[in-house]
Chain A
Amino acid sequence: MSAVITRRIVLAAGTASLLAAPWVARAQANTLRIGMQSILSGPIALLGTSSRNALMMEQDRINAAGGFLGRQIEIVYRDSKGQPQEAARIARELVNSSGCELLIDAEASSASFAVQEVVRNLGIPCIHTNSETSSLTADPKIRAPTAFRVARQGVHDAVAGSIYLSEYASAKKLNKWATCSPDYAYGRDTTAQYLQFFKQFKPDLEVITEAWPKLGQPDFTEVITKLIQAKPQALFTLLYAGDLSAFVNQGNIYALFSQMAVATPNVDYPVLAAIKNLPAGIQSATRYLETFPNTPANKEWGQAYFKKWNERPTNWSWQNTVAMQFYEQAIKKVDALDGKSLADALTGMKISTPFGVDGTITMRDDHTTIGYAIGWGQTIPKEPFIVDVKAADWGKIIELETEWKKQQKYI
C-alpha cells in the first residue's frame, strides 16, 4: 500500500494524540502497579521464574474478576540476581520511580533482609514470598510493621523434618550424619534448627562433618569427596534448584547415593525433572506436589500451571499465589491500599486456598503463615517423584516453634 503522508495528516494525528493524552494517562494512572523482584537469572532463576509465572496467572485471574478496588493490576518484574544491595535498590526504585503501590518480595533470604529494611523505611505493604529464614519475621527486632511473609519457614520445616527423619533414622539405625548446606543465612540458620530438633528427637545423633558450599557454586567435587572421606551413614542437605541438580549429578558419578542415605527438604518438580538420573530413595519434603494435599483444588491449580507454562510449579510458585490471595482478601476487607490498613487486615487473616493442609492458611500475628502443607516422603525417578507422603502435625510444629522462640528470646 502506498500512502502519502501530508502535513495536514500529521497535524491531525498530533492533535488527536494531544487530545487523547489525558485519557491515556488516566488509564495508566488507574492501573495498580505491584512491584516484584526476584532471582531471574543464574542457577536459582528456575525458582524466581516460577514465582513470576505464578504471579502472572494471578494477575490474569484478578483482572478478569475486576482487579483490586476496580483497578486492573500490573505486576512489574525486576531481576535482582539475589544480590542484597541490588534487591534493596530495586525495591526503592519500584516504589519511588515505577509507581508500585504494593510489593511482592520474591527474594531468597540472601536478599530479603535488605528489602525488609527498605520496606520499614518506606512503610509500603510488602509480602515476602520466598525467604525461609525464620528470624525475618520471628525476631521482633527484624519484623517490620507493614511486611508479612507467605513462605515456608525454616523452623516449621525443621520440626516437621526432624520428626520424620528421626523416625526414619531410628528405623534404619542411622546415627552418624553429615550436613551440606548453602553458606548464607538460610543454609546456616535452618541447618542449625534441623539439628537442634533432630537431636531432641534422636539424642544419639552425631554430626561427623559439615560442608558449606557457596550459593551458585559450579563445582561440588571437593564437597562430595569430603563427604565420602567422612563416611557418614546419612547426609542432610539444604541445597536447592541448580545447585541441588549439579550436586546430584556430580554425586552420582562418585556413587555418593549408594554410600550414604540422603535427606533433603528442597526438591521441586522442575529440579527433579532436570536431574537426569534421580536416585530413588532420597528422603524428601514436599515443596509443592500436585498430589499433596490430595484435593481437586490443588490438582486443578497444578494442572492449570502446567498447561500455561509447560512445566511443573515449584514451592515458590504456590507461595506467590497465596501472597496475591492474601492481598486480594485484605484489600476487599479494608477497601484501601495503604500499609497501615492492609497490615491491620492481614494480621490474623485466614484464607481458603488449595495449599493449606486443611484447605486454609492463616497469617499469624507475627506476620508469618501457618497451616500450609508440609509432608515428607521418598523419591522415585518418575512422576510424581515423591511417594509415601506423611503429613506433618501442625500442633507439634507450633508447640516446638514456641519453645524455640523462647530460647531465642523472641517471645
Chain B
Amino acid sequence: MDLNALGACLTTSACVVTQTTSGLIVGMLLFLVAAGVTLIFGVLKIVNFAHGTFYMLGGYVAYTALGVTGSYALAVLAGAVSMAVFGVVFERALISRVYSSNVLMQLLICYAVVLIFDDLVKIIWGPEFHAMGMPPTFQVPPLFIAGGVVPPFYAVLIGIAALIAVVLGLGLSMTRLGKTVRAAAINAQMVSALGVDTTLLFAIVFAVGGGLAGLAGALAAPVRSLSPGMGFSVLIESFIVTVIGGMGSIAGALVSALLIGLVRGFGTIGFPQFTDGLIYIVMIAILLLRPQGLFGRRL
C-alpha cells in the first residue's frame, strides 16, 4: 500500500489524466463485453458463461481479416459481425434448447462451448500467441494533455465505446425494438402473447451481445496478444461488472465498468500489490449496501 504515491498522483494533473485515460480504456472495453452479458441475462435470464469466447473469437477473426484485407476498420467490422452471426447460431442451436432447463444445464453447455472453441482456436490458429500489431494510422506519438499521456489509439477506442453506449442506451429507450426488448425482459410471455416473435427477438439480443463482445475483442487485438483461453480473464471481470451494475442493467454495466477501470487505474498507484483484491472489495462493499447492484431491481 502506497497512499503517499496515490495522494501525490491525485494532486498532479499529469498523473490524473494518464491514470484516468488508463482506467477509461480498461473500463470501456469491459463495458462492451459486460453489456452483452447483462443484455442477454436481462432479456433471456441466461448467464452466458461462454461470452468470453465471443471476445476471443472476435479478436482472432479480426486478426485474420486484417491479414486478408489490410484494413483495421474492416477487421474490426469482421470481428463484430461474425460474432453477431455466431451469437445467433449459438442461441438457436444450443441455448434455445435449455431456456426452461436448470441453470446448471445452461452453465454446462456454455462451459462445453468454451472448451470446444479454445481447442478449435488451437487447431485453426495454433496454440501460440499472435500479435496483430498497431494499425499504421495509430503509430503516432501519444498526446500530452495537462502533462498526462493519452495514446490516440486509446482515445479513439474510448470514443467508439462511448458512442456504442449512447446508441445502445438510446436504442433501448427510444426505439420500438428497444422498448420491446425491455418489455420482454420484464415479461417475455406477455410480449409473446401480444404477437411479438420472441424467437426472433431472443436471436437479435444474442446477436447484439455477441457482436459487442466480438467488437471488444477486435478493438483490443492490436495491443493485447491473442491466445487460446484469453476470453476467460475478461469473462470474470465482465461478470463482476455485471453484478456490481445490477444484472440486466446496461446503464449499470457502464457505470460499474468505468468504476472498475478507474479503481484499476488509480489502484495500481496506491495499492500496487492489491489491485485485483481491491476490485473484489469494491464489489463486496457495493453488494453489501445494495445487494441488487447499483442499477439493479430488488429481487
Contact = CB atoms under 8 A, between A and B. Distances in A.
Contacts of A225: 18-19, 21-22, 149, 265, 268
A252 to B, nearest CB: 7
A136 to B, nearest CB: 25
Interface stretch (A111-119, A140-148, A273-281, A375-383): A273-281
B264 interface: yes
A212 B272 contact: yes
B122 A254 contact: no
Interface in B80-103: none
B225 A246 contact: yes
Give the most central of B129, B220, B269: most A CB within 10 Å.
B129
A243 B134 CA distance: 16
A210 interface: yes
A250 B131 CA distance: 11
A217 B139 CA distance: 23
A222 B229 contact: no
A229 B227 contact: no
B142 interface: yes
Interface string B104-138: 00000000000000100010000111111110001
A245 interface: yes
Contact of B227 (A45, A222, A270): A45
Interface residues of A, number: 40
Interface residues of B, number: 47
Given A221-B26, A225-B18, A253-B153, A274 B230 contact: no
A276 B151 contact: no
Interface string A217-253: 1110111111011000000000001110110011011
Interface stretch (A14-22, A35-43, A56-64, A364-372): A35-43
A277 B149 contact: no
Give the most central of A79, A210, A212, A254: most B CB within 10 Å.
A254
Interface string A286-298: 0000000000000
B224 interface: yes
A268 B13 CA distance: 39
A192 interface: no
B149 A242 contact: no
Interface in A46-84: 46, 48-49, 79
Nearest to B15: A229
Nearest to A211: B272
A255 interface: yes
A40 B227 CA distance: 11
B11 interface: no
Nearest to A79: B127
Contacts of B209: none
Contact of A274 (B131, B269, B273): B131
Given A41-B228, A222-B275, A242-B225, A253 B138 contact: yes
Contact of B26 (A43, A219, A245, A254): A219
A276 B22 contact: no
A222 B134 contact: no
Given A41-B227, A218-B233, A219-B224, A49 B128 contact: yes
A222 B153 CA distance: 16
B269 A246 contact: no
Nearest to B129: A242
Nearest to A229: B15
Contacts of A210: 272
Contact of A43 (B19, B151, B227, B264): B227
Contacts of B224: 218-219, 246, 250
Contacts of A216: 227, 233
A178 B205 CA distance: 47
A401 B264 CA distance: 39
B15 A249 contact: no
12 contacts: A41-B229, A43-B225, A211-B268, A211-B272, A212-B272, A218-B233, A222-B264, A225-B268, A246-B131, A246-B225, A249-B225, A276-B133
Interface of A: 40-43, 45-46, 48-49, 79, 210-212, 216-219, 221-226, 228-229, 241-243, 245-246, 249-250, 252-255, 270, 274-277
Given A219-B220, A222-B264, 6 more contacts: A40-B127, A211-B268, A219-B223, A222-B275, A274-B129, A274-B131
Q: Sorted from nearest, which 8 A-B pairs have the closest CB atoms? A: A276-B133, A242-B129, A253-B151, A222-B268, A242-B225, A46-B128, A246-B225, A45-B127
